[in-house]
Each structure stands twice: as C-alpha cells, then as structure tokens.
Structure 1
C-alpha cells in the first residue's frame, strides 16, 4: 500500500508538475527569442544600428539644447551685469555733478570777493575780513571737488581756456593774462579760464 503511494502521484501533483514544465518551456522560448545566437545576425545588427543612430542623434540634440541654454544664461547674466554697472555709473555721475549748477552760482561770489580784494585799500580793515571769507569759501569748494584753473604762464589749452584777447608781451601760444579764473568739478571742466594769449 505504501509502495503504491510512493510510485503514483496524486492528480494535483501531476497538474503542478505539468504547470512547472510549461512555465519552463515558455521561459526557454523567451530566452531563445532574445538570444542573438537564435536570431538572424543581420537583423539584429540592423536594428542595433538603427537604435544606436537614434540614440546618438537624441544625445546630440540634447547636448545642443543644453549648450543653447547655457549660452542664453550667460548672455542674460552679462546683460544684467552691464545694466547694473550702467546704473552704478549713472548714480555716481549724478552724485558727482549734482552740485554743478549750485557751484557755478558760487563762483560768481568768488569772483566778486576777488575783485573786492584787488580793489581794496591795504589799510582797510574790511579787506582782511574779505580775504578770510574768500579763503574759507575756496576751502569749501575744494572739499566738494571744485578746483581752481589758473593757467598764468602755461601753454594755451583750448579744452580748459577761453582766449578772449591777445597779450603782446606773452610768448606764442602761452597764457599771458588771466582775466577770470576757471574751475573744474571732480576733474570735469565747470568753467573755462578767460585769458589773453601771446601770438
């Protein structure tokens, strides 16, 4: 009785065994389908070449897009940097020359003080006060970037000087007489010096 049970499997065991064999058969056929040795070498080569070419083309396309994006970002950064620099320069320029109009009006006061000093009597006690006022005003102008242009005896420079007459005693192209001093604001000409020049 025991030998019959050993040599004969139950129907359920037979079904399970058949299912296992069937699964193994399907797996084996599937492996063969994707095994290059069981397929046409020419067909696999063509398919691989097509896939490889497509893959390479896609890579090249993506690389181009990345390069274009990087270049666009670089251009945007450069434009933003340039715009920021321009704004800083404009702000700095506005700051430097904000006093330009006011400074020109002050120069008229300086001119009047200098004329008063030239025409004052040496013994006049008021003259000393005028001189002190003139000196203090020039110090304030200097502190704010305003410098005197006094070209007496220098070579004539059309960028800084305005020739209004000829000085017969001066050397050629040399400033002989300064009729009115010039001034610059932070290195930029505020008013040219009015001069007589030798011929």
Structure 2
C-alpha cells in the first residue's frame, strides 16, 4: 500500500506560503510515484526475465525417474542372476556328491559278479558257500545304502537305454528281455551299468 503524503495545513492567508506548500506536496508525491514505478524497478524485470522453465524441469524429473527405474531393474536382474548361479552351484555340488562314488561302485560290481558266480557254481555241501552268501549280501547292502540298485530287466520290454542285447532268446516274446547274462545297476537313478541280456525275436 502506497505511503500517504504528510498532512500539512495550508496557510490560505499567505499566497506565497500556500504555493510553497503545494510545491512541497507535489515533490513528495513525485518521490512516492518514482518508488513504485515498474519501469524503474530493475528487480521486477529480472524476476520476469529469469522466470523458471517448467517444461525443462519436468523433462529432467522424467529423465531422473527413468534412470531410477533402470537402476532398480538392473538390481533386480543382478539379484536374479546371483540367485540362479547359487542354485546351479548347489545342484552341481549335489550331483558331484551323489555320483562321486560312480567309478568306485562300478569297480565293486565286478566283485559282486564274482561272488554270484561262486554261489551259482558252488556245491550244495560246500561249507564255505554260506560265508560267500553272507559276504555277497553285505556288499549289496553297502551298495544300496550308497544309492546303487539292481536293474532287473527280465520279462520287461527291451530298452536300449537300460539293456545291452548280446543275443536272441528263442523262448522269449518278441522285443522282450529273456535271459539275463549280467545284471545291470543304477546309481541314484543314473545308469551305472546296462544289463547284458538276450532278447526275444
């Protein structure tokens, strides 16, 4: 609100004094108007000239939001990759643990085969055969505890993934396993040794 000019009492009896008072009042009024003249107020011009560019600020905000979004997506991908890598390592470690005995177990199968041949060919009155049977059973128990199982293919359909055909069995139905010449074994569900068989034609 503009400043009011001082309230002076004019001496109307003295024309010179009255004229002087009028000139004084005019001077005060001019000074007051100059203070509020927008053409002489440089600060007001600077404010108008330096007005904020809202479009530029909105564009910058959008750019920063996009960068934050990309950073979050990158972090999520990195976490997912790290999680998958950890799971793969755990699976590989589990496989290594399960099949670490593969070579050793396969070599033990030859011992099992020899014990079975000894049992089959032993005389019924041989006093040693009972000890061989117990040894054979104990060895199979140890193998079973470590994931080794017998593949019993007799009477099943021939499967090239599990069986190795070495001859024809004239008494077996077509494509069916007949005589088993050597037992097959698996280790934790993976084929350790295929069964050696004769197949019906």
TM-score by length of structure 1 reads: 0.77
When the two chains are superposed, the root-mean-square deviation of aligned CA atoms in Å is: 2.6
Q: 1:88 aligns with which of 87, 90, 102?
A: 90
Distance 1:139 1:150 in 2: 17
Distance 1:122 1:56 in 2: 98
Distance 2:124 2:155 in 1: 27
Q: Secondary structure at the match of 2:95?
A: helix
Pair 1:33-2:44 in alignment: yes
Q: Secondary structure at the match of 1:87?
A: helix
Pair 1:178-2:189 in alignment: no
1:108-153, Cα deviation, whole Å (9 max, x unpaired): 0000000000000111111111111111111110000000012111
Partner of 2:121: 119
Distance 2:131 2:170 in 1: 36
Matches within 5 A, 1:28-107: 33=44, 47=51, 51-107=53-109
1:95-115, Cα deviation, whole Å (9 max, x unpaired): 000000000110000000000
Pair 1:156-2:167 in alignment: no
Partner of 2:199: 197
Partner of 2:145: 143
Q: Give the drift of 1:78.
A: 1.2
Q: Give the drift of 1:83.
A: 1.1
Q: Give the drift of 1:175.
A: 0.5
Q: Which runs of 5+ in 2 are unaligned?
A: 1-31
Q: Which runs of at least 4 in structure 1 moved beyond 2 Å after TM superposition? A: none
Distance 1:154 1:121 in 2: 32
Q: Give the drift of 1:155.
A: 1.1
Q: Give the drift of 1:33.
A: 2.7
Structure whose residues are more often helix by fraction: 1
Q: Secondary structure at the match of 1:125?
A: coil
> Which of structures 1 and 2 has the bigger CA Rg?
2
Partner of 2:28: none
Q: 1:130 aligns with which of 129, 132, 140?
A: 132
Q: Give the drift of 1:154.
A: 1.1
